[in-house]
């Protein structure tokens, strides 16, 4: 696996300190949502968070309890480190559960906490939990229907995203037989449908500020999420903080790869500084003709058969031509 530690530190230094300060001043002027300087605002009500299952309908409670027990039976070592208390959501390839990390204070959590300065909107991610407090995590159970390569890719990209602002961090992951579980920090959020009609303009700005910073950071690591939607961006309107999650469809891209595309306009002229739009028949027509001429000169076959697209090629009568061109047209009736 690549060593991204140096890249994270370098990128962290390149974050716009002036931009961060300007945004914090905007927060102060608006005084709508708390800022990352007020660390207490991000503290969870432990008793309230632990009792969320009781607020759901009885039928749903029984269903969730059955799923939790099935999860614990499928992954026996789960109960040694985590206490599952509720279900956060379900998807096509996985389900996510809320749990209490029973051994949080026994481990070094600095690798996934990151190093976000106090001026950063993601500073709350770097603040360790006070000793003796209950720490909530989100455990993602990946279904066996998900392919091994997909699981491997998701874990790899989450590892590369360590240190990104407003991105769900990878704490750990483990496998038992065909069961895979991914442990991430728990981020309090509300259903997008519950608040999007009433979210004020300052809240909308905070929503997109967190989302765009998350995308900016993962793009700096040459990662495309490919599944950005409200369900995959956990936003808390009370604090104005969001977290991008679910990298199941994400992919890496090569920023140095050339992008070849057709030029849709002519060259500039006195009358048209930006050129004129070409019709579809004009796209690369000169280039195609030049390639056909070059092919005719190099080919060993008869010139009238090169560069032509005729149904005659598909006739068995022209099988010698098909052989010379290394094609299998003779098999087509």
* DSSP type of residue 50: H
Measured between alpha carbons, how far is 239 from 42 in angstroms, rounded to an integer? 7
Q: How far is CA 267 from CA 220, 276, 284, 286, in A?
A: 34, 8, 13, 14
Which backbone phi and psi does 277 adopt, to 5 degrees?
-70, 135
Helical residues (DSSP H) of 161-258, grouped into ranges: 192-195, 201-220
Residue 227 designated active-site: yes
Contacts of 8 (CB under 8 A, 6+ apart): 114, 115, 162, 163
Catalytic option among 37, 227, 236, 271: 227
User: What are the C-alpha distances in Å from 42 to residues 86, 196, 272?
Assistant: 20, 21, 57
The pairing of beta strand 251-252 with beta strand 136-142: unpaired
CB neighbourhood size of 316 (10 A): 11
Q: How many CB atoms are located within 10 Å of the residue 226 CB? A: 10
3-state SS class at 142: strand
Range 188-201 burial, b when 16+ CB lie within 10 A, else e: bbeebeebeeebee
Residues catalogued as catalytic: 227
């Amino acid at each position: 696996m690549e060593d991204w530690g140096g890249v994270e530190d370098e990128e962290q230094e390149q974050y716009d300190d002036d931009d961060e300060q300007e945004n914090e001043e905007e927060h102060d002027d608006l005084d709508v949502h708390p800022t990352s300087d007020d660390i207490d605002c991000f503290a969870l009500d432990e008793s309230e968070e632990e009792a969320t299952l009781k607020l759901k309908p009885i039928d749903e409670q029984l269903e969730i309890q059955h799923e939790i027990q099935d999860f614990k039976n499928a992954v026996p070592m789960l109960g040694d480190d985590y206490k599952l208390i509720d279900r956060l959501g379900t998807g096509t390839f996985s389900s996510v559960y809320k749990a209490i990390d029973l051994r949080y204070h026994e481990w070094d959590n600095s690798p996934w906490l990151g190093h976000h300065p106090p001026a950063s909107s993601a500073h709350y991610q770097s603040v360790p939990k006070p000793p003796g407090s209950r720490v909530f995590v989100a455990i993602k159970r990946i279904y066996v229907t998900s392919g091994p390569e997909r699981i491997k890719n998701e874990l790899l990209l989450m590892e590369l995203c360590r240190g990104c602002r407003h991105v769900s961090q990878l704490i750990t992951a483990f496998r038992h037989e065909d069961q895979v579980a991914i442990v991430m920090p728990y981020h309090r959020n509300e259903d997008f449908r519950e608040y999007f009609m009433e979210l004020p303009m300052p809240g909308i700005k905070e929503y997109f500020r967190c989302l765009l910073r998350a995308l900016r950071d993962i793009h700096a690591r040459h990662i495309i999420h490919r599944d950005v939607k409200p369900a995959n961006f956990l936003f808390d309107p009370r604090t104005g903080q969001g977290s991008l999650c679910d990298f199941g469809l994400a992919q890496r891209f090569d920023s140095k790869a050339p992008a070849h595309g057709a030029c849709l306009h002519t060259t500039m002229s006195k009358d048209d500084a930006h050129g004129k739009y070409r019709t579809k028949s004009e796209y690369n027509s000169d280039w195609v003709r030049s390639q056909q001429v070059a092919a005719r000169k190099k080919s060993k076959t008869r010139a009238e058969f090169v560069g032509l697209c005729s149904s005659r090629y598909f006739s068995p009568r022209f099988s010698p031509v098909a052989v010379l061109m290394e094609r299998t047209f003779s098999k087509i009736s």
